[in-house]
Every structure is written in structure tokens, then in C-alpha cells.
């Protein structure tokens, strides 16, 4: 069985959905499972609905705007009497109904119940369209198969239950399902983290013992840098799982960090290809004697630099480190880079849940701290260390770290 994942850009409008069918035609539409993201910028728009809801502002207008965009897409794909229009209305009525009756003050819980609807609606539209043009498939609710704990917005997969449910699928037919979402033991929706659709595809690939997994992007494959941010980047046609994991960890946006480990465990080849030109080779991630180790550039923006030191100039000891990392875990803040000296600790942080101010307030009860927001982490993988001077030009470097073949710097 093959797993294909299509992101939001690949289903952003009616023509894009039609293009998905052309990609499938080029690949052979048989024995495959499609994981589809929300259409275009729908996730961002639904996030705005949640923000407006908690501000007690007019979120209904935003819901109506999002609904109309989906109806317009459907109008470009279906006759006007098609039942998919009624289904679209039901999905959006459900969002409004949930928010009207919700009593939970938990932002992350409400976020997951609302934002997940983007995937539900997009997959219903794509599944119905493919059936309409004789690409026979069955629509699945991923929440019935991907089971998690109740860590809303960052669900931890229960692999035993998930594998048990997914293994019941028929590998001889085709399915369309959602990325990004699962459900907890009470069947409430839990999302797997922003951009988590790639991870969903890997979960299905692992549990179905897939022959291969392909992610379809608007770029030719994994490049030596984001072409929107770096000049003269080239395609990496073959890279190892290990190299891809490192690149994802450092912030390469083309690969979700959690995607690769399930695939590596079962040695499932992973391809990143272009939905603009599906005949192009793209990138293969896996075991190969052709794997490359080219100099690659990764820019991780919107980071926070936190410098911590003891008030009495004593050493930053193990008990201090344990306390600090306990707080980082409590506030769900991820460390992108760490550097410590005898009396200080510098952390480059990813603050996805906007809790760094609470963390800092907690730490200031014990330590001296300094916070610099909106910095960037620039990483060079497989760097030619004897030629790194060029990377310092026109940069204000706040922190740097050099290992055997990786240069990292936090810059303003």
C-alpha cells in the first residue's frame, strides 16, 4: 500500500483539487491512502475564530467567511444539487453549535475541537470529488483510528491502540482521511501539533506496513535551503533518515520533525515530490549508497533567546538544570539550542503556546534572566568550517555554537 499526503497548498482551490486527481492518475490510483490537510489558509482562519471566541468578539462572521470559501471551491467541482453542499453546511453549523454550548475555559481544548474541522471539510470535498470522477475511495474519520492522550494541540500517540485500529483497514482499496488529528479516550478531538499532517501520514504508513510514503509539496523536493529565503539552493535527490531527522529538528519546514522515526523503524522509503510536476524525481529519504551530505541552510524564525544566571554567581548545577527543564516542560516550550557556562545558561526557545512570559516570571523568583524575543536561529548543516566567515556578514550574532560539521547562530 502507498501513502500520499497532500498539504493545504495542494488543495487551496478547485483547480488545485483537480490537479490532485492528475497527480494520482500519474502515480496509479490503487491500493493507496490519501492524507489531506485543510484547504489553503483554513487552519489560520479557524485559529482566528478561536481567538475571537475567547475575546468574546464576533466569531460568527469569520465562520461564515470560511464557509463561503469552501462553498466556492465546491461550486468549481460539483453540480449545484450535489449533497456535498449540505455536508459543508453541517460541518460549519457544528463549529458554531460547539462554541455556543461550550463551557470549557481550556483554550487548547477548544482550539482542537474547532481547528480540526478544516481537515474534516477538505477531506470530504476531495473524497467526494474523486468518487465523482471515478477514482473510487472510502472516506475515513482519522479520529476513529489515531488514538492519543489528552495533550490538546500536542497529542501523544497511543501506538498500541492506533495500530490495532488501523490494521483493520482493507489494504486492497483506497481511502481518503485527515492529517493533524486524532482523538483521546473520551473521543474528543486532539491535534498532533501544527503542520502535523506529515506525521499522520507516517503513522498510517507505519501501521499499514506501507511500501512507500510520498509528501506532495509546491517545491521540487528537499532543497539545500528554502528557496524563498536563500539563493542558489539545489535539490537533494537522496538523503538518509538520519540527515532528514537532523534537518527537521533544526527547523527545515519541508519535513515535520516527528515524521521520520516511524518510517525509519520499518525502513519505509519516504519521498518528497512536487505536485506541480509529479514526473520529476524529487527527494528520496531512506537507506541508500547514493545519499548526499551537502551544505544545507535552515532558518528558524520567531524564536526567543532566554539567558539565565544565578543571583549569587554560583555555578549552574544539576539541580538548577532539573528545575529549569521542569518549567520548560510545564509551559510546553521547546529548546532549539542550548549553551551553558559555569554561571549561566542560554536557551533559544520555540514558544508555540505563548507561555514564555509565564516561564520567565517563574524563573525570576530564583534566577536572574534576560529575554530577547523575535530572534532567528540560523543553522548550517555539513558546513565547511574553514569557510564559515561568510555566514557572519551583516548579522548581529547573539549566540553561536559550532560542532564537527554544524554551525548554529542566534541572530537579530
Q: pLDDT tens for residues 175-202?
A: 999 999 999 999 999 999 887 899 999 9
Looking at 31-45, 55-69, 234-248, which range is the least confident one?
234-248
70, 158: one domain = yes
Phi and psi for 394 in degrees, rounded to 5?
Answer: 60, 30
CATH number of domain containing 320? 3.30.2130.10
CATH number of domain containing 114? 3.40.1160.10
Mean pLDDT of 62-90: 97
Look at residue 233 and tell me if it is in a domain.
no
pLDDT tens readout for residues 286-342: 887 778 888 999 999 999 999 999 998 889 889 999 999 999 999 999 999 999 988
Reduce the DSSP state of residue 131 to 3 states and report it: helix
130, 21: one domain = yes
Mean pLDDT of 85-107: 97
Per-residue cell: 384 = 565547511
Q: Per the structure, how many domains does the chain have?
A: 2
Mean pLDDT of 22-50: 95
Q: Is the pLDDT assigned to residue 40 strictly greater than 80?
A: yes
Reduce the DSSP state of residue 203 to 3 states and report it: helix
What value, to the nearest 5°, has the Cα angle with vertex 87 and ends 83 and 91?
170
Q: Nearest Cα to 367, choosing from 305, 328, 304, 311?
A: 311
Mean pLDDT of 21-30: 90
pLDDT of residue 342: 87
Q: Is the pLDDT assigned to residue 222 strictly greater than 80?
A: yes
| E-state strands within 293-405 | 296-310, 334-340, 344-350, 367-381, 397-402
Q: How many Å apart are CA 84 and CA 171, to the nearest integer?
A: 26
More confident position, 86 or 341? 86
Q: Nearest Cα to 303, choosing from 271, 270, 325, 335?
A: 335
Q: Is the pLDDT assigned to residue 29 strictly greater than 90?
A: no
Look at residue 247 and tell me if it is in a domain.
no
pLDDT of residue 291: 80
Look at residue 90 and tell me if it is in a domain.
yes
- Full-model pTM: 0.89
31, 177: one domain = yes
Report whether 158 contacts 147 (CB < 8 A).
Answer: yes
88, 180: one domain = yes
Neighbouring residues of 366: CB distance < 8 A, sequence distance ≥ 6:
311, 323
| E-state strands within 187-236 | 189-191, 212-217
Evaluate the CA torsion angle 261, 262, 265, 266 in order and state its sign: negative
pLDDT of residue 287: 81
Look at residue 246 and tell me if it is in a domain.
no
pLDDT of residue 391: 79
Mean pLDDT of 60-89: 97
Q: How many Å apart are CA 293 and CA 381, to the nearest integer?
A: 8
Q: How many Å apart are CA 178 and CA 185, to the nearest integer?
A: 19
Looking at 29-33, 65-69, 263-267, which range is the least confident one?
29-33
Report whether 146 contacts 181 (CB < 8 A).
Answer: yes
More confident position, 165 or 412? 165
Indicate the residue among 217, 241, 256 that finishes a domain: 217
211, 303: one domain = no
Look at residue 191 and tell me if it is in a domain.
yes
Q: Is the pLDDT assigned to residue 207 strictly greater than 80?
A: yes
Q: Residue 403 belongs to what domain range? A: 296-411
pLDDT of residue 227: 87
246-to-211, 252, 392 alpha-carbon distances in Å: 24, 9, 22
Q: Is the pLDDT assigned to residue 15 strictly greater than 80?
A: yes
Q: Is the pLDDT assigned to residue 255 strictly greater than 90?
A: no
Place of cell 540527515: 243
Q: What percent of the chain has pLDDT over 90?
A: 81
Look at residue 291 and tell me if it is in a domain.
no
The region that residue 207 occupies, defined by phi over 0 for left and psi between -120 and 50 for alpha, beta otherwise, is alpha
Arithmetic mean of pLDDT over the chain: 94
pLDDT tens readout for residues 122-166: 999 999 999 999 999 999 999 999 999 999 999 999 999 999 999
Indicate the residue among 202, 217, 232 that finishes a domain: 217
314-to-53, 311, 317, 318, 342 alpha-carbon distances in Å: 47, 8, 8, 12, 8
pLDDT of residue 252: 83
Reduce the DSSP state of residue 156 to 3 states and report it: coil
Indicate the residue among 185, 217, 249 that finishes a domain: 217
Amino acid at each position: 500500500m502507498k501513502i500520499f499526503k497532500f498539504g493545504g497548498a495542494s488543495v487551496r482551490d478547485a483547480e488545485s483539487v483537480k490537479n490532485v486527481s492528475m497527480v494520482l492518475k500519474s502515480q496509479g490510483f490503487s491500493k493507496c491512502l490519501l492524507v489531506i490537510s485543510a484547504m489553503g489558509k483554513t487552519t489560520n482562519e479557524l485559529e482566528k475564530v478561536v481567538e475571537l471566541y475567547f475575546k468574546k468578539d464576533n466569531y460568527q462572521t469569520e465562520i461564515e467567511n470560511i464557509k463561503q470559501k469552501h462553498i466556492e471551491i465546491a461550486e468549481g467541482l460539483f453540480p449545484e444539487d450535489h449533497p456535498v453542499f449540505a455536508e459543508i453546511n453541517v460541518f460549519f453549523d457544528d463549529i458554531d453549535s460547539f462554541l455556543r454550548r461550550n463551557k470549557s475555559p481550556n483554550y487548547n481544548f477548544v482550539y482542537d475541537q474547532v481547528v480540526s474541522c478544516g481537515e474534516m471539510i477538505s477531506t470530504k470535498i476531495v473524497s467526494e470529488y474523486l468518487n465523482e470522477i471515478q477514482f473510487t475511495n472510502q472516506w475515513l474519520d482519522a479520529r476513529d483510528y489515531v488514538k492519543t492522550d489528552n495533550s490538546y494541540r500536542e497529542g501523544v500517540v497511543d501506538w498500541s491502540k492506533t495500530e490495532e485500529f488501523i490494521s483493520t483497514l482493507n489494504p486492497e482499496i483506497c481511502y481518503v482521511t485527515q492529517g493533524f488529528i486524532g482523538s483521546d479516550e473520551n473521543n474528543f478531538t486532539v491535534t498532533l501539533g501544527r503542520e502535523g499532517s506529515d506525521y499522520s501520514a507516517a503513522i498510517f504508513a507505519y501501521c499499514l506496513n506501507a511500501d512507500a510514503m510520498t509528501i506532495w509539496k509546491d517545491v521540487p523536493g528537499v532543497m539545500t535551503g528554502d528557496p524563498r529565503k536563500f539563493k542558489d539552493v539545489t535539490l537533494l535527490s537522496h538523503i538518509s533518515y538520519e540527515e532528514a531527522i537532523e534537518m527537521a529538528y533544526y527547523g527545515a519546514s519541508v519535513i515535520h520533525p516527528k515524521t521520520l522515526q516511524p518510517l525509519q523503524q520499518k525502513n519505509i522509503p519516504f519521498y518528497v515530490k512536487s505536485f506541480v510536476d509529479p514526473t520529476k524525481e524529487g527527494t528520496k529519504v531512506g537507506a541508500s549508497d547514493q545519499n548526499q551530505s551537502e551544505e544545507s541552510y535552515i532558518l528558524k524564525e520567531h524564536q526567543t533567546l532566554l539567558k539565565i544566571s544565578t543571583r549569587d554567581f554560583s555555578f549552574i548545577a544539576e539541580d538548577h538544570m532539573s528545575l529549569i527543564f521542569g518549567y520548560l516542560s510545564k509551559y510546553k516550550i521547546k529548546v532549539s539550542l542550548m549553551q551553558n557556562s559555569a554561571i549561566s545558561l542560554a536557551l533559544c526557545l520555540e514558544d508555540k503556546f505563548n507561555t514564555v512570559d509565564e516561564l520567565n516570571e517563574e524563573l525570576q523568583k530564583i534566577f536572574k534572566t534576560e529575554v530577547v524575543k523575535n530572534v532567528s536561529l540560523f543553522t548550517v548543516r555539513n558546513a565547511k568550517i574553514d569557510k564559515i566567515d561568510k555566514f557572519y556578514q551583516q548579522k548581529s550574532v547573539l549566540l553561536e555554537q559550532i560542532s564537527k560539521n554544524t554551525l548554529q547562530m542566534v541572530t537579530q
